[in-house]
Every structure is written in C-alpha cells, then in structure tokens.
C-alpha cells in the first residue's frame, strides 16, 4: 500500500474550497452514520439511497449529491478520499482559483458518474471520481513535483517519489481492475470507470487550460516536460554533429529564447563573444566541468554589466536574459561561486535564478541562501529581510526554518 502524505507544492494561500469540501463530506457522513441512532432515518443506508447516483432512476441533482456520500458501514472509503483531496486539491485550487476549482471539482464528479453509467447500471456514491479529476489535473500542472508517501509493502517507511510515478501507478491499478470487471474476473463493487473518467477529465482540462494559456505555464507543468524532451533530443542530435552542433544546442535555454519565455522584448543583438561564451558555459556544464563553467560565468557577468546586487527590481530585463542559463545549470553555477567565496557573483547568479524561475521548487531555498549572503557577507539588510520573509512561510525543512528565524533575529534593530 502506498499512501500520499504531502507534495512539495504547498499552496500560496489557504485552500478554503478544499478545506470546505472536506468539512462538508465529513458532516454528511456523520449525518448518515448517526441518523439511524437519533431516529432521523430508518437505517444507515437511508441517506445514501436518497442521494446516490442511479443510472436506472436518473435525477440531475444526484450528479452532485452522490459526490458527498460515502459507505456508512466503514470510515476507510471516506478517509482515503479526503486524504487524496487534501494532498492534491490544495495545489490545484491554488492554480485554478477558488471558484474555478469548485466548478472543476463538481463537473468532474458529474463526468465520472456519466462514464460509470455507460458501463455499469448500478448506483454509486463517493467523491472518488471528483478526486480522480483533481489528481489528473495535478498530473498536468505539476508532473515534475514530488510526493512524500508512506509505504506499507515489502518494507514500512516514508519515501519521496515523483508525482508522475505515483499517479501513474494508481491510474494503472484502476485500469487493470476495470478491465478485470469487464472480463468477468469478479465484481469488486468499486466504480473504477468513474475513477478512470475522472483522471482523463482532470488531465485533459489541465492540458487545455495550459495550451490555451488561460493558465500561465510554469516550470513544473506538462508542457515544460515536452520542452525538456525536445531539448534533450536536440542535444543528442547535436552531439553526433561534433562541437559546432553542441554549441548550437547549448543556446536552447538561453538568451533571446528565455527572454521571450518571460514575455519581455528580446535584448538587442548580443555581441558574438557573449553568445559564444554562454554556449561554452553550457558545454562545460554538460561535461561536468563546473569550476571552469563558473569562471566563465563570472566573465559573462562582467561583460553584460550585471553589476548591481541585487538588481533594481524583480522585472525581467535584457541584462538578466543575457546571463540566465537552464534552471539546474544556473543553480549549480551559483552554488559553485558561493562555495568558492565569491559572494557578490554568487548573489548575482542566485538573483537571476529566482527572477527567471520564480515558481521553481527551489526558489524559496534560494531566497533563504540569498538572505544569508546579504545578512552575513554583503550587508544588504533590506533585500535580505524581503527575501527571507517571502520564503519563510513555505519552508518545510526544520533546519531551514530555524535559519530563517536566526537571520531575521540578526536583522532586528
């Protein structure tokens, strides 16, 4: 058994709709479970029999009511549904907005019920279809994220695994079980087709919103995966063409292309020397020569006159566009400069990272490192406080949170 605990994508604001849905489901369950005891219903199944979705006795309102009903004879049906809703719903709500998420959730449950009715005439209850929709949307919006899970299988313990693997595992299990039911291998009594329809609905809506740019694309969504795949393919092709091809491939993540990604006007034509220098840095990163890459990056900083620490604003600019690398390379360069004691250049490189990749999973950790640099090495208290206060609420690591408190204490007058 693999049970999700949390993701590495904490919401930026309180997920009140997710919390509200959980509360409503709990209250409805308590009403159904206690109704027979207090004489409100004849038996525990009475409430479920009224609000369930029954294809043979279709009522439109049951497309919604069935989503808030769960097995009255046990808590596990409700508990697992609410756990999955809590783990995945908060991040999806953060991206879709509160009203958008509520509509998405309820429509997902209705789609799941209709899909179930196309294959099985029996009635259903539960939020599983709706939550499968949320999980599918999470897969489209955050496929590069990680999930902390509790595993109870060959061993017992906690692991952090890619969300893509986790969700794909559950989707595969549901698909196999649905096939088994259709082939007559058994009747599990679980509406697996509702789950599958929910996954397809959620993933499709997520991709559609990103494709039409109704949702702004981020470095964690499914389109970024496609971009990375194309870049890796281009690099493999270029590597077969010799050094010249490698140099061309190294430009894929930099310069005018990234400036366009940030919706800023591309910089004026970059001097040939700067362009070749940036390409050489990417080649060195690809071959693992971090020390030489960091040295050349310092030259690039000097040539592009990125001299202010920190930059005057968080706006993307041509100067930043000329010095930004792919996310991992940018982080490696900045960390290398920091480890060598080149604090000013390390700060410049870290600033470029958080301004170019503000939604990176490591952005808050980088803000904390910058705060440390500005407090203890570069004497920029105002910028340090701004960065630390922005990062602190989202720091999950206890040591990092403690460091943030220490730095803020050092900044106190």
Mean pLDDT for the stretch of residues 51-69: 91
**Strand locations in 155-290 (E):** 156-162
CATH class of segment(s) 2-211: mainly alpha
Residue spans per domain, the chain: 2-211, 254-360
3-state secondary structure at position 152: strand
Question: Binning pLDDT at 50, 70 and 90, where does residue 28 land?
Answer: very high
Q: What does pTM read for this prediction? A: 0.60
Q: What is the pLDDT of residue 400?
A: 85
The two counts, helices (H) then strands (E), for the chain are 19, 3
Q: What is the pLDDT of residue 229?
A: 60
Residue 148, CA atoms < 13 Å, CB-side half-sphere: 9
pLDDT of 64 > 90? The answer is: yes
Mean pLDDT for the stretch of residues 182-196: 76
Task: Give tens-digit pLDDT for 222-263.
Answer: 887 776 665 555 445 544 444 444 334 444 444 444 445 445
Question: Binning pLDDT at 50, 70 and 90, where does residue 287 land?
Answer: confident
**What is the DSSP code string of 256-311?**
HHHHHHTTSPPPSPPPHHHHHHHHHHHHHHHHT-HHHHHHHHHHHHHHTT---SS-
Q: What is the pLDDT of residue 362?
A: 84
Task: Give tens-digit pLDDT for 321-341.
Answer: 678 888 888 998 999 898 888
Task: Give tens-digit pLDDT for 190-218.
Answer: 888 999 999 999 999 999 999 998 998 77
Mean pLDDT for the stretch of residues 77-98: 94
Task: Give tens-digit pLDDT for 112-154.
Answer: 999 999 988 888 999 999 999 999 999 999 988 889 999 877 7
What is the enclosing helix (H) or strand (E) of 7?
A: strand 2-7
């Amino acid at each position: 058994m693999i049970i999700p605990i949390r993701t590495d994508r904490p919401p930026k604001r309180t997920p009140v709709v997710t919390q509200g849905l959980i509360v409503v489901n709990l209250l409805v369950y308590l009403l159904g479970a206690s109704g027979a005891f207090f004489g409100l219903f004849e038996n525990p199944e009475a409430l479920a029999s009224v609000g369930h979705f029954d294809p043979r006795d279709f009522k439109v309102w049951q497309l919604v009511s069935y989503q808030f009903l769960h097995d009255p004879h046990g808590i596990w049906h409700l508990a697992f549904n609410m756990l999955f809703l809590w783990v995945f719903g908060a991040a999806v709500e953060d991206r879709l907005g509160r009203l958008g998420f509520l509509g998405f959730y309820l429509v997902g449950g209705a789609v799941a019920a209709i899909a179930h009715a196309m294959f099985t005439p029996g009635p259903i209850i539960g939020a599983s279809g709706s939550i499968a929709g949320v999980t599918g949307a999470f897969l489209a919006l955050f496929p590069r994220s990680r999930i902390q899970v509790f595993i109870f299988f060959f061993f017992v313990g906690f692991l952090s695994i890619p969300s893509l693997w986790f969700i794909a595992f559950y989707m595969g299990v549901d698909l196999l079980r649905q096939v088994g039911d259709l082939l007559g291998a058994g009747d599990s009594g679980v509406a697996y087709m509702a789950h599958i329809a929910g996954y397809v609905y959620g993933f499709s809506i997520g991709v559609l919103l990103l494709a039409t740019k109704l949702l702004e694309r981020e470095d964690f969504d499914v389109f970024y995966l496609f971009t990375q795949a194309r870049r890796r393919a281009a690099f493999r092709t270029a590597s077969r063409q010799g050094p010249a091809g490698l140099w061309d491939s190294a430009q894929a993540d930099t310069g005018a292309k990234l400036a366009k990604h940030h919706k800023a006007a591309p910089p004026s034509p970059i001097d040939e020397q700067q362009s070749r220098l940036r390409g050489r840095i990417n080649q060195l990163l690809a071959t693992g020569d971090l020390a030489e890459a960091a040295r050349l990056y310092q030259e690039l900083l000097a040539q592009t006159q990125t001299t202010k620490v920190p930059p005057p604003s968080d706006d993307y600019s041509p100067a930043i566009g000329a010095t930004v690398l792919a996310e991992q390379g940018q982080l490696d360069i900045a960390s290398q400069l920091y480890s060598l004691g080149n604090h000013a250049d390390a700060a410049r490189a870290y600033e470029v990272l958080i301004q170019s990749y503000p939604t990176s999973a490591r952005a808050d950790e980088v803000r904390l490192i910058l705060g440390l640099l500005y407090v203890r090495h570069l004497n920029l208290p105002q910028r340090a406080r701004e960065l630390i206060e922005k990062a602190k609420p989202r720091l999950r690591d206890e040591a990092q949170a403690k460091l943030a408190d220490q730095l803020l204490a050092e900044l106190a007058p």
